A and B are shown apart, each in its own frame.
Chain A
Amino acid sequence: MGHHTDTHGDHAAGHGFEIMPTQDHSDDFGHISPYSIYAKIFVALLVLTVLTVGVTRLDFGSMNIVIAMFIASIKAMLVALFFMHLKFERMTTWIYAVFPLVLLGIMMAGIFVDNPYRATPGPAAEAKAPISADHVTEGHATKAQH
């Protein structure tokens, strides 16, 4: 550090560069993770995949989707944080990574809140009618005409 600030001392001091380890430029081209981390993450992803298949085969009914999406989100986080190096990225990149998820959340929430109150028969309106019983009897006739 000493050498660098000696030559560029006046420039650097004004901009607070002396806080950063100026000799160490290893992060200029991305953080170099230990080689073994990728193998560990890959194994973790495989284990989580087996877990997803196992859990849904056991069949927890309507909880299936909750469990499956929860595990999928852990897998997605592992891929983003370590394979895509998001863990070592600066704040700007994090904002770019998170804002589409927020927008997606707003879109989903809006549509799900809006749908049940629609006057036109949308999917939610049909879902209110019992599916299993009339599906086979008179419900089937009307559905076939669609």
Chain B
Amino acid sequence: MSASHHATAAEVGPGDPPHIHHMDTPTAYQSAKLGMWLFLATEILLFGGLFTSFALYHWAYFEEFHHASKELNWVYGSVNTVVLLFSSFTAALAVDAAQRGDSRRCSKNLLITIACGFLFLIIKGIEYTGKYSHGLFPGTERWNSPEFIQEYKMYFGLYYCMTGLHALHVVLGMGLLTWVYLKARKGRFSSRYFVPVEVGALYWHLVDLIWIYLFPLLYLVG
């Protein structure tokens, strides 16, 4: 039925997967996207647990969390926010290019997105190193001193868990987009087959979405 409607799907064009004649490509495309959205739903619930913990303890230890958050440098956080927003922008442009069948522009934008992910991790690394040298890391002398009260430890525990899990997602997203980039450079995508670009970009946007909430919560509000 649907095959007759999308009769053109049977022809193997440049960039089409070799098994394209077995599938109804628009349906395959929609299903793959829906599958990714379902996965993103589980990701929201994964981070949701941490956000709930943060909300609860922020409410309970309002003053202490406020003091502890002053230890974070909001400039680093802001710069990283801009870096991630820009990377989300280029990821969207990569999908746009793929939809229009422009492989060159697609791979170029994917490369910029991956580079932004790398820059984000470098800045995050500088921050983590700074936290360690300021004794804001488990095991340091300041952390173990009685002045470093339980509530501060709770704040930084949540900070490391949330930003750490987020950074892990950045690393995985970079890996995923690198794989997509290599395929795009080989000209494996066309305007009728670009599911990996779209799905990879959706994952990357989620990484951005999580950070949109993490940045004000951890750096600004405390």
Q: Which residues of A contact B (CB under 8 A)?
A: 8, 11, 15, 17, 22, 25, 28-30, 32-33, 35, 38-39, 41-42, 45-46, 49, 52-53, 56-57, 62, 64-65, 68-69, 71-72, 75-76, 79-80, 82-85, 89-90, 92-93, 96-97, 99-101, 103-104, 107-108, 111-112, 115, 122-124, 126-127, 131-132, 135, 140, 143-144, 146
Contacts A28-B6, A28-B26 given; does A143 touch B149 at CB 8 Å: yes
Q: Is the interface of A mostly helix, strand, loop or mixed?
A: helix
Interface residues on B, range: 35 or more
Q: List 21 A-B contacts (CB under 8 A).
A: A22-B5, A28-B25, A29-B25, A29-B191, A53-B78, A56-B220, A68-B220, A80-B205, A83-B208, A84-B201, A84-B202, A92-B34, A97-B37, A100-B41, A103-B45, A104-B45, A104-B48, A104-B51, A108-B55, A123-B56, A123-B60
Q: Which of B37, B198, B208 has the most A CB atoms < 10 Å from its CB?
A: B37
| A17-B5, A28-B6, A29-B26 known; A83 vs B48 contact (CB < 8 Å) | no
User: Cβ of B56 and Cβ of A111 under 8 Å apart?
Assistant: yes
The 8 A CB mask of B46-82 against A (1 = contact, 0 = none) is 0011011001111111111000000000100010011
The answer to whether A53 and B220 touch (CB under 8 A), given A42-B85, A93-B33, A104-B48, is: yes
Q: Does B121 contact A (CB under 8 A)?
A: no
- Given the complex, which residues of A lie within 8 Å of B93, measured CB to CB? 38
Residue of B48, B61, B151, B201 near A107 (CB, 8 A) is: B48
- Stretch of B129-137, B161-169, B173-181, B209-217 on the interface side: B209-217
A76 contacts B191, C-beta separation under 8 Å: no
Measured CB to CB, the closest approach of chain B to A107, in angstroms, equals 6
- Name the contact of A35 in the complex, choosing from B62, B81, B96 (C-beta under 8 A): B96
Contact with A along B5-17 (1 / 0, CB 8 A): 1100000000000
CA distance A52 to B74 in the complex (A): 11
Does B91 reach chain A (CB closer than 8 Å)?
Answer: yes
A83–B205 contact, CB under 8 A?
A: yes
Assess whether A100 is in contact with B42, with CB atoms less than 8 Å apart: yes
Instruction: Tell me which of A22, A35, A65 has the highest count of chain B C-beta atoms within 10 A of its own C-beta.
Output: A65
A93/B96 in contact, CB under 8 A: no
Known pairs A64-B220, A97-B40, A146-B150; list 4 more (Cβ under 8 Å): A49-B82, A56-B220, A83-B89, A104-B51
Select A32's contact among B29, B57, B100, B146, beta carbons within 8 Å: B100
